[in-house]
Structure 1
Amino acid sequence: MNVNPYVFYDGDCAEAFTFYSQCLGLPVEAMMRYGDTPGGSPVEASWDDKIMHACINIGESMLMASDAPPGNYHPPQGISVALQVDSVAEAESAYTKLSAGGEIHMPLEKTFWAERFGLFTDKFGIKWMVNCDPLDQGASS
């Protein structure tokens, strides 16, 4: 089994996934628009260029998303995308890049459970946690 987050955006999914791709150095695996739906778009024509489904593979997991159809978007609450990295350098890079333009809730720092851990909401309103396990568990600085 796998658990993969599926995030909904308020019309800026393409911008968000392009940003994540650049920040993480990973390709966007899928970016399907509502207007490309076989049999016709399930949303009003003004949303044909919005994203019906997007995906980025991150390790063995996927971050998936779409633009919520008009009138169906609700800001996410009570959930974060948790990004687990293997090194302090990866943690610092991902945290710095992904949090740019967003709101910092906890600076990336050493904690009693992690070599680095930090919390932020990105500029698209998505909450993230970046975690790097202690060095004695195989992570390196």
Structure 2
Amino acid sequence: MRAINPWINFNGNAEEAFTFYKSVFGGEFTKIIRFKDLATAEFPVADNDADKLMHIALPIGPNNVLIANDVPEFMGRVSENENRSKIAVSAESREEADNIFNRLSAGGDIEGQIGESPWGTYAGMFRDKYGIEWIVEFDPNYKG
């Protein structure tokens, strides 16, 4: 397997969230497609969905891509209070783990403060200010 790339649905704020994620992880967006870019006579797009993102991609590290879209209004809202699957970030050091944890969790709700875990890693969990759940972890014994 080459990679697993998480794909997140948003309620119209994917671009704002991904601008924030870019400020944490760095890099450049490799793809941004708005619903209006795909509009045709066969696939009309409502005015209120035209500028929403159909696809956005942000590479994170050499093999991973964080992907998202906005859900068009006719499909209903994504429940941001559900327990979504978490996105796990494997840091290369404690310092990197602390930096990512502190920056991504800003304005969010911390579920488990970053620190020593019972399974021998340095980890923490939180829901960011956009409702996305994350685990940031550094495993000093990783032999990748």
Q: Same fold (TM over 0.5)?
A: yes
Q: Specify whether residues 42 and 104 from structure 1 end up closer, same or farther in structure 2 by C-alpha distance, changes over 3 A only.
A: farther
Instruction: Give the equivalent residue in structure 2 for 1:52.
Output: 54
Query: Residues 6 and 64 of structure 1 are in contact (CA less than 8 Å); yes or no, is this contact kept in structure 2?
Result: yes
Q: Specify whether residues 107 and 42 from structure 1 end up closer, same or farther in structure 2 by C-alpha distance, changes over 3 A only.
A: farther
Shift of 1:116: 1.6
Counterpart pick for 1:80 among 72, 83, 86: 86
Query: What secondary structure, in the 3-state scheme, does the structure 1 residue paired with 2:90 have?
Result: strand
Query: Residues 14 and 31 of structure 1 are in contact (CA less than 8 Å); yes or no, is this contact kept in structure 2?
Result: no
2: distance between equivalents of 1:51 and 1:119?
A: 27
Q: Structure 1 residue 110 and structure 2 residue 116: aligned?
A: yes
Cα RMSD (Å): 2.0
Give the fraction of aligned pairs with identical amino acids, expressed as a percent. Answer: 33
Map 1:13-52 → 2, pairs under 5 A: 13-37=14-38, 39=40, 42-52=44-54
Aligned length: 138
TM-score of the superposition, structure 1-length normalised?
0.87
- The gaps in structure 2 that reach 5 residues or longer are none
- The gaps in structure 1 that reach 5 residues or longer are none
